[in-house]
Amino acid sequence: MAEKVAKLGVEREKDFMYYVKDGGVWKVQRKQPNVPKGRPEKVADGGFEMDTNYIYFVDRDGDVARAKRAVGGQKRKKKVRASKKKRSPPRKATKSAKPKSKAKAKGKAGKKKAGKAKGKKKRGKR
């Protein structure tokens, strides 16, 4: 999938990150807690021109390789449009049941259930 652009044979160190910039290979120290940011250092000059349609990287052998850039990201499945989906027919609005008189409504709401009184809970010593 990737093609080699320049054979450099760069020896990698564990605590460094390697990247390709302007046809050369650079390294910078990886971020670590309580360590100041490192300065980039040029490791090798590849002597090639970079194309914006490719991504460039340092491969396992320490050589510069490139792969076709995925423009636009990954393809996703097409969603079914709302117009094509089967819709259920609209429901008719129903009237809510109202009590016939105010006395009956007041009588139902006025009753309290027997149980614990509302308020702060009293806790014993733990």
pLDDT score of 73? 73
Under 8 Å between Cβ of 50 and 20? yes
Give yes or no for a contact between 5 and 48, defined as CB atoms under 8 angstroms apart.
Answer: yes
3-class DSSP state of 7 = coil
- DSSP β-bridge partners for residue 29: 16
What residue ranges do the domains of the chain occupy? 3-68
What proportion of the chain, given as a percentage, has pLDDT over 70? 73
pTM (two decimals): 0.52
Q: State how far the Cα of 18 lies from the Cα of 89, in Å rounded to an integer.
A: 61
pLDDT at 34: 92
Q: Rounded to an integer, what distance in angstroms lies between the CA atom of residue 8 and that of residue 40?
A: 18
**Tokens (6 digits) for 124:** 């014993």
pLDDT of the residue at 71 = 77
pLDDT digits (tens, 9 = 90+) for 20-66: 999 899 999 999 899 898 899 999 998 889 999 999 999 999 999 99
**pLDDT value at residue 54:** 92
What is the band of 70 on the pLDDT scale with cuts at 50, 70, 90?
confident
